[in-house]
Amino acid sequence: MGAKKKARSLDPEISAEMEEEDNISRPASKPGKVAKEHKEQLERLQEKDPEFFKFLQDHDKELLEFDDEDIDDDVDTDVEDADMQEDEEILGQDVEDGEEKPANKVITAAMVDSWCNSIRENGQLGAVRNLMRAFRTACHYGDDAGDDSSAKFSVMSSNVFNKTMLFVLSEMDGILRKLLKLPSAGGKKETIIDLMHTKQWKKYNHLVKSYLGNSLHVLNQMTDTEMISFTLRRLKFSSVFLAAFPSFLRKYVKVILHFWGTGGGALPVVSFLFLRDLCIRLGSDCLDDCFKGIYKAYILNCHFINAVKLQHIQFLSNCVVELLGVDLPTAYQHAFVFIRQLAMILRDAFNVKTKEAFRKVCEWKFINCLELWTGAICAYSSEADFTPLAYPLTQIISGVARLVPTARYFPLRLRCVRMLNRIAASTNTFIPVSMLLLDMLEMKELNRAPTGGVGKAVDLRTVLKVGKLTVKTRAFQEACVYSVVEELAEHLAQWSYSVAFFELSFIPAVRLRSFCKYTKAERFRKEMRHLIRQIEANSEFTNERRKSITFQPNDPAASFFLEDEKKSGASPLSRYVATLRLRAQQRNASLKESSVLVGENSSIFGDKPIPASDEEDDDDTRDEQGATVFSSAWLPGSDSKTKAPKEDKKKKKKKTRQQPQEEDVVEDLVLSSDEDDEPMIDPDTPSSDEDETANLVASPEPHKKQKMKNSSKKDVQQKPRNMSKKNADWRAKSKKRKRSN
């Protein structure tokens, strides 16, 4: 009993820490609380009234002999460390006033160095415990509970905070694996499940729980992307321990998905690597949550698209596709449900035919989901588990392309055709997309002369719908016609080595000749004639070689027709498509390009390059100085924040003052169009992202314009200062005569 009391007096915070961590992970079991309180009451009773306690021992032993299984872990962790007293004596030597209680509440750099050296040299468990208490204090620094008088330690300087965080995040994974007798790296869920039945786990699981729980807390408090990235890189090696704490696992997945979707710099990449490693190691425990969570996070980030955000959304899409490849059978089940949801939305649009139903289909959120599943099917087209999804997705995309057959929705239709061409190429399946493209050429908007002038260049990648006046511009007509030529050539080139190419290309060639006959634009006629010549040349190319064949059309040998030529890309259409792709790249480059590249300077991704491989993560903390990772510019919950200099604030104020004036000047210079009664932007349905954002932004206050107009009228009506009263009267009379005449 004396030994138990001694150990408990040396380590009173462990039980409190464990209780708090239990609250983070899961509610504490009621039998454990009752047993612990019962035992404490009996101990107090024995101290206060030993005679009555002896009476109970003699007459009512059942009251004293209760089941204390629920507190065995705490007793073990307290009793097992006979050297805890020695560690406290070492701490007393490190601090000058070690005997005084208030001095123990201040962690100094010397104390942290002493603990680190003890762990490296001797592996003392007492030093590990003290360092974990310091780590907990650092993670909760600035919280409401951080100033509690019952806390044993408190971090007083950024240097101590930095040293504690760096050492624990860098070394604690190896320390825990050593205590639990696990391999130095790796591990799977089964390893942890087997470990949970061992004696080592009962002794040291509270250290694992404290490490993961406090790290989760500090991740929720951090705002600096470099610090979050560093923390996640180090925690990735300990992710396998989350198999023992399901509640921690769900919270980690939620936090990581938030960083992946909204983080800057290298944080999205680091977060995704952590999430992928988690799915590989833990398997079914987190796959469902990760697949649903990452799909939801993707949707939240793709409501709108512009030239800057285009590559970022492509990066997010690639991450989702990569994660689906971890377990394709499970991914198929989720993909089937999500694609079915898209089909139901499209069905409502065809059946209900309301503006709201159309809006749900013709918005970026819906289209980006189609792009995502198109990428997934193209990536795993050779997998039998995923290929069956190609057919329903193709039906949905074709339905979206035909939903609104007007010229204003040409960008949407072209995007759908692009997706269909990708699916056809990856699955080697014929999809009749030529009709979607040829119908566009027969619409009057592309056959008549442009009445809206040259117009601005239209980036069809970043819009789904254009304005009414944009349709009449020359730039829009050229963008549409050139895109139709490129996609039609892409479609025909996929089958340029087919034995049935002549039959496949006959109707498209006839309709292209009809377009050349009726179009009034010579540049379009020239473009179509060039495409027709390539189709005719390719027909001759295939017809010459099929004269010598002996198999029937339904013979499996037909699939090997012109196989060697296909590998070398020898057909006329294949060579023509290569030149068209180069032209499309040049045209897109002439538009406003996106600078969003992972690892380069940009508005979304940061300056720091990403490590080429995961192996570089092992040494990043040794090469990185602590001050650059956990610097004094940030402490969790503290008030120290980077403040902008006063000069910058003044400049910002000046800019904000000048802005409304400039806007008013521009507003006065804009001329209204009396020739065309149609509005530039449809007020009900915005034509593009720019139109939608323009509707959201509040226009300048109308009274400012009215004031400017009134003031200008007053200036004209006011008489000049140098004019005499006689002249003024004379001018007024002459004006009256003119009006009467």
Q: How far is Cα 15 from Cα 29, in angstroms, rounded to an integer?
A: 15
How buried is residue 175: exposed, middle or buried, by Cβ count under 10 Å (0-12/13-18/19+)?
buried
Specify whether the backbone of 356 is left (phi greater than 0), alpha (psi in -120 to 50) or beta.
Answer: alpha
- Residue 460 near residue 584 (C-beta atoms within 8 A): no
Q: Is residue 209 helix, strand or coil?
A: helix
- H or E segment to which residue 401 belongs: helix 390-403
Give Cα separations from 362 to 84, 340, 524 (angstroms): 67, 17, 29
Q: Given this model, what pLDDT does residue 557 score?
A: 72
Name the amino acid, one letter, at 399: G
Give strand pairing partners of 155. 107
What's the average pLDDT block by block, 10 residues per block, for the chain (741 residues)?
A: 40 41 42 64 78 71 51 37 39 40 68 90 88 90 56 71 92 92 84 89 92 94 92 93 93 95 92 95 90 95 85 94 95 96 96 92 95 96 91 96 94 96 94 94 85 84 91 91 94 90 93 91 91 94 83 73 80 92 86 46 35 41 46 47 44 44 35 36 39 38 43 43 53 61 49
Q: How far is Cα 395 from Cα 343, in angstroms, rounded to an integer?
A: 9
Name the amino acid, one letter, at 350: F
Take residue 571 and report the two structure tokens written for it.
């057909």
Alpha helix ranges (H) inside 180-283: 189-195, 199-221, 225-235, 246-262, 267-282
How buried is residue 502: exposed, middle or buried, by Cβ count under 10 Å (0-12/13-18/19+)?
middle
Which residues fall within 8 angstroms of residue 518, CB to CB, at 6 or more apart?
Answer: 447
Nearest to 413 by CA among 456, 445, 457: 445
Q: How far is Cα 407 from Cα 660, in angstroms, rounded to an integer?
A: 36
- Residue 413 near residue 463 (C-beta atoms within 8 A): no
How buried is residue 364: exposed, middle or buried, by Cβ count under 10 Å (0-12/13-18/19+)?
buried
Which residues fall within 8 angstroms of residue 512, CB to CB, at 6 or more apart?
Answer: 438, 441, 528, 531, 532, 535
Which residues fall within 8 angstroms of residue 658, CB to CB, at 6 or more apart?
Answer: none
DSSP result, 89-140: HHHHHHSTTTTSTGGGGEE-HHHHHHHHHHHHHT--HHHHHHHHHHHHHHHT
Give Cα separations from 80 to 7, 74, 161, 203, 206 (angstroms): 9, 10, 29, 8, 14
SS (H, E, C) 604-629: CCCCCCCCCCHHHHHHHHHHCCHHHH
Q: Given this model, what pLDDT does residue 547 score?
A: 81
Specify whether the backbone of 636 is left (phi greater than 0), alpha (psi in -120 to 50) or beta.
Answer: beta
Q: How far is Cα 447 from Cα 724, in angstroms, rounded to an integer?
A: 66
Counted residue by residue, the chain has a size of 741
Q: Given this model, what pLDDT does residue 72 score?
A: 39
The owner of tokens 């020239």 is: 526
- The answer to whether the Cα torsion of 186, 191, 197, 198 is positive or negative is negative
Q: How far is Cα 363 from Cα 369, in angstroms, rounded to an integer?
A: 10
- Residue 195 near residue 182 (C-beta atoms within 8 A): yes
**Phi, psi values for residue 686, rounded to 5°:** -65, 145
Reported as half-sphere exposure (CB side, CA atoms, 13 A), residue 481 has a value of 29
Reported as half-sphere exposure (CB side, CA atoms, 13 A), residue 738 has a value of 6
Q: Given this model, what pLDDT does residue 11 score?
A: 42
Report the Cα 714 to chain-centroid distance in Å.
56
Q: How far is Cα 296 from Cα 674, in angstroms, rounded to an integer?
A: 47
**Phi, psi values for residue 154, rounded to 5°:** -145, 135
Q: Tell me the CA end-to-end span of the chain in Å, nearest whole number.
A: 121
Which residues fall within 8 angstroms of residue 556, CB to CB, at 6 or more apart?
Answer: none
- Residue 146 near residue 637 (C-beta atoms within 8 A): yes
Q: Given this model, what pLDDT does residue 296 score?
A: 96
